[in-house]
């Protein structure tokens, strides 16, 4: 069966072992979202205090040459507990055939003690694995796509409310602008922000997240890494941009994820340049940047306004959009290379 992306969270939150399907396919461009959704499914199906022997992890490479392994593993009763979950990491190779064989074996048995979860990348509608999960009544396909700003804002607000915090409008805007589009990264950053503020009792009147809290908790690590990359790319600092990409990768942020913040900056830069070219004073055009530029970044962005034109900026945006499209569904290594090449082209163009 097929589920729309905006219904995934509600579906997973309501999942119960006695009504779960036999197979859940989780796929999409948001790999952090795929992993987080898979973790939630596991907890909902087995409970918080499940025995480790109720959980089996299978990389898709392990199914090569033995597609029946998945069905065999699912048929094996767990040593402890009544249910077992099998997570297949990757949707390539023999995974589609293994999933088909597993669903076929269920026709011969009256009981289902196992749940198979497949974590995959972006899959086209024509993908055999996706077609299987969407058409079979015993399966469910859950798409996870990168979040838009509105979705990030709603997710952040909902997370804070669960932690008994309220967040100021300015702080929410700042937080939304600083977070990436990957659910896994968003989750970690929100947890870090709450950890910075400390535990809070329900209805505590001091439970407010301010813009200063966001800046202090996340500014030096999350957005700072993106800001360094953005400014070095826009200023044409090739070696520094390369180091910024490396630091983000070391922190667990794929280069493809960084394309979003870079694109957002160039969109605003393009708007400010268009305003200036129509006669708007530069100081006023800088107000296009939301949240307001930090005083340490302001001189760098002013320099960028001198180096770029609206036309040149539009070309950079075209390169970024093409790169983001190419990265969707691409293998991690290829995605990394395509994103890096796009950033390199723009960095070199800055000084032309």
Predicted local distance difference test score (pLDDT) of residue 231: 95
Q: What is the mean pLDDT of the chain?
A: 86
203 pLDDT band, cuts 50/70/90, is low
How would residue 235 be classed by pLDDT, with cut points 50, 70 and 90? Answer: very high
> pLDDT digits over 3-46, tens only?
888 788 889 989 988 889 999 999 988 887 888 899 999 999 98
Torsion on CA atoms 187, 189, 194, 195, rounded to nearest 10: 110
Q: Hey, what are 333's tokens?
A: 């290594």
Query: Does pTM top 0.95 for this prediction?
Result: no
Residue 200 CA, distance from chain mean position: 28
Question: Contacts by 282-286 with C-beta closer than 8 Å and gap 24+?
Answer: none
Q: Which residues contact 118 (CB under 8 A, 6 or more apart)?
A: 23, 24, 25, 26, 27, 87, 88, 91, 95, 99, 129, 133
Place of tokens 């520094």: 240
pLDDT of residue 118: 96
Relative to beta strand 139-143, strand 166-167 is: unpaired
Q: Which residue has the tokens 């396919």?
A: 25
> For position 181, what pLDDT does the model report?
67
Query: Cis (ω within 30 of 0) for the bond into 87?
Result: no
Q: Give the percent of the chain with pLDDT over 70.
A: 94
Is the confidence at residue 330, as pLDDT, over 90? Answer: no
In the chain the domains, ranked by start, together with CATH numbers, are 5-143 (3.40.50.300), 149-349 (1.20.272.10)
Distances from the Cα of 83 to the Cαs of 47, 89, 143, in angstroms? 10, 20, 25
- 224 pLDDT band, cuts 50/70/90, is low
- Please give the full DSSP string across 183-196, using - where no structure is assigned: HHHHHHHHHHHHHH
pLDDT in tens, 56-92: 999 999 998 898 999 988 888 776 767 889 999 998 8
């Amino acid at each position: 069966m097929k589920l729309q992306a905006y219904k995934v969270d509600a579906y997973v939150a309501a999942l119960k072992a006695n009504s779960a399907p036999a197979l859940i396919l989780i796929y999409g461009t948001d790999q952090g979202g795929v992993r987080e959704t898979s973790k939630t499914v596991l907890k909902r199906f087995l409970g918080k205090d499940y025995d480790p022997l109720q959980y089996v992890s299978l990389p898709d490479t392990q199914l090569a040459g033995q597609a029946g392994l998945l069905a065999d593993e699912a048929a094996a009763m767990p040593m402890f507990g009544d249910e077992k979950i099998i997570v297949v990491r990757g949707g390539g190779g023999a995974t589609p055939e293994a999933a088909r064989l597993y669903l076929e074996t269920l026709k011969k048995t009256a009981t289902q003690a196992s749940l198979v979860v497949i974590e995959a990348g972006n899959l086209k509608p024509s993908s055999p694995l996706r077609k299987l999960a969407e058409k079979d009544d015993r399966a469910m396909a859950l798409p996870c796509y990168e979040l838009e700003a509105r979705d990030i804002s709603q997710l952040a607000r909902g997370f804070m409310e669960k932690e008994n915090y309220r967040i100021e409008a300015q702080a929410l805007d700042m937080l939304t602008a600083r977070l990436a589009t990957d659910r896994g990264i968003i989750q970690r950053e929100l947890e870090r922000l709450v950890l910075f503020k400390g535990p809070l009792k329900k209805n505590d009147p001091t439970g407010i997240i301010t813009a200063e809290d966001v800046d202090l908790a996340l500014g030096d690590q999350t957005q700072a890494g993106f800001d360094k990359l953005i400014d070095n790319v826009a200023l044409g600092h090739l070696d520094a941009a390369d180091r910024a990409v490396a630091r983000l990768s070391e922190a667990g942020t794929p280069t493809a994820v960084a394309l979003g913040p870079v694109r957002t900056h160039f969109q605003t830069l393009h708007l400010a340049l268009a305003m200036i070219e129509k006669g708007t004073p530069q100081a006023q055009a800088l107000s296009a940047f939301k949240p307001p530029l930090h005083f340490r970044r302001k001189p760098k962005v002013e320099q960028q306004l001198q180096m770029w034109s609206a036309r040149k900026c539009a070309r950079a945006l075209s390169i970024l959009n093409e790169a983001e499209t190419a990265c969707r569904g691409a293998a991690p290594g290829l995605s990394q290379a395509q994103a890096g090449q796009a950033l390199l082209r723009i960095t070199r163009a800055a000084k032309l």
